[in-house]
Amino acid sequence: MIRENQKLLNQINVLTDAAILFVSLPLAFFIRFYVLPDGIAIIPLSDYLLLDGLLMLTHLISYATLGLYASFRRASLPGELLRLWFAGVLNITGLLSILFLVWEVDYSRLTLALYFLLSVTCVSCKRILLRLYLRRLRRAGYNQKHVVILGMGKTARDYLTAIRTQRELGYLPAGYVARQPVPGMDGLSYLGNFDRLEDILDRIQPDEVIAGLETEDLPLTPQIIHLCEKLGLKLSLIPFYAEYMSSTPQFDSIGNIPLLNIRRVPLDNWANAFCKRLVDIVGSLALILLTSPVMLVCAVGVRLSSPGPVLFRQERVGRSKKRFFMYKFRSMKINDQQSTRWSTDRDERKTPFGAFLRKYSLDELPQFFNVLKGDMSLVGPRPELPHFVEQFKDEIPLYMVKHQVRPGITGWAQINGLRGDTSIRDRIEHDIYYIENWSLWLDIRILLTTVFGGKFKNSEQLR
């Protein structure tokens, strides 16, 4: 539930920021030319509104780039406001530079200055009020983030004290796991020992796992990390030496307690995710139009090659472990093993026309519609059948990490030759490299290599 709440909150945050930014310029125009003296408007309001849309979009992108749409449970209000004003100064400075150098329209500088003050001040006030409202909600017991605490040493107790005394942060401990019950825990439930950890986490499905282990429990750290990755749960570690160190930018913190996030994903950044999704929408629409004649020929060929539907729908596991139906042109005869058996190069189930489709990857073309729907991306880890996901999550280390991003039609593993009946471990290694090192340029490289053939031979980047 916390993930849905966070998504809704981000959407409200973006929309209210956009509304404030858009209204600020007409308001500045009104104040300049109808309230202040000497108000003679040479340029009509309609021309300012054209500029207004560009300014609003630029501000939203800069806010996202500076992390102003990430969860701010752990972020300080002064830090958020400082980034907000920095973005405003940067945008207005860039605008004035462009107007001075290339724009022929002579906008009122005073109007733009009023816009800057109104927009940044109003957005700042809105965010202050939003924080106050959320703190009140969380103190009342709403919008809670459920956590399971591992260990009950000094660092874990300090963390528990911090979230209990700062209820406005919205962290609710579901219980703790330790070698044995610890007396004096003031109603905090003892969930069991570390031997039962997998069953406990699988049953509770917390929003986050906090490990504050004592020194004698530190050998359990690799097992805990592996288990949380396997179950797809976010894990934060409180170093046992936390009291001797200060927090740094790569750490989150609760009060003065640093929390080291095991894995950071570039696509968790709102701006990165927005850019990738925009490329997916534009790219999939363009590719659907460009390949529609080819898809029509493929559809007719499938219909004539064997009885059955033209499209083959198969359930796959996508981002956040959600299931969806992936589309392909049917390349096999109807069979009862389509959900539990991989296809091979010499699969007796393939039709002659299906083999042709497979050879040139034409059977994948309907997946552009999956991309347009938002189930998939043009580039990402290939989605797997639920049957194999259940099997591999116990056998392959870090297998479930791939579900932190949208699956793709092509990916880093595929252009390195890891497609079809190849090593799952090698595929996951390449998928994790892609997830942790994502960039638009990397996506472009993968798409170009997919289209024009070849693969990246060197794997030094994986290390």
User: How many C-beta neighbours within 10 Å does residue 341 have?
Assistant: 14
Distance from C-alpha of 71 to C-alpha of 69, rounded to nearest angstrom: 7
Beta strand segments in 51-151, E: 145-150
- Please report, in tens digits, the pLDDT of each residue of the chain (463 residues total): 444 556 677 788 889 999 999 999 999 999 988 888 877 777 888 888 888 888 899 999 988 888 888 766 666 778 788 888 988 888 888 887 777 666 666 788 888 889 999 999 999 999 999 888 877 777 776 767 889 999 888 888 888 888 888 776 778 888 999 988 888 777 788 998 999 999 999 999 898 999 988 888 888 999 999 999 888 888 988 877 766 654 443 566 777 777 766 677 888 888 889 999 999 999 999 999 999 999 999 999 988 888 888 898 999 999 989 999 999 998 887 655 554 554 555 556 678 888 888 888 888 999 999 999 999 999 999 999 998 999 998 888 789 989 999 999 999 999 998 877 778 889 999 998 899 889 888 999 899 898 887 544 443 344 3
User: Phi/psi zone of residue 167: left (φ > 0), alpha (ψ -120 to 50 degrees), beta?
Assistant: alpha
- Phi, psi for 150 (deg, rounded to 5): -105, 120
Sorted by sequence, the CB contacts under 8 Å of residue 157 that are 6+ apart come out as 212
DSSP letters of 34-75? IISSS---SS-HHHHHHHHHHHHHHHHHHHHHTTTTS--SSS
Distance from C-alpha of 154 to C-alpha of 217, rounded to nearest angstrom: 13
The answer to whether the CB of 176 falls within 8 A of the CB of 209 is no
443: Cα separation from own chain's centroid? 16
Distance from C-alpha of 91 to C-alpha of 85, rounded to nearest angstrom: 10
> Which one, of 167, 160, 214, lies nearest residue 188 by Cα?
160
Task: For the sheet with 190-192, list strands across it.
Answer: 190-192, 171-177, 145-150, 208-211, 235-237, 257-261, 252-254
Distance from C-alpha of 87 to C-alpha of 81, rounded to nearest angstrom: 10
Largest CA distance in the chain: 85
Distance from C-alpha of 422 to C-alpha of 455, rounded to nearest angstrom: 15
DSSP letters of 212-272? ---GGGGGGHHHHHHHHHHHT--EEE--TTGGG----TT-EEETTEEEEES---GGGSHHH
Dihedral sign for Cα atoms in the order 334, 335, 340, 344: negative
> Which one, of 328, 333, 316, lies nearest residue 363 by Cα?
328
3-state secondary structure of 106: coil
Which structure tokens are listed for 178? Answer: 């330790």
- Phi, psi for 14 (deg, rounded to 5): -65, -45
Which structure tokens are listed for 86? Answer: 């920095």
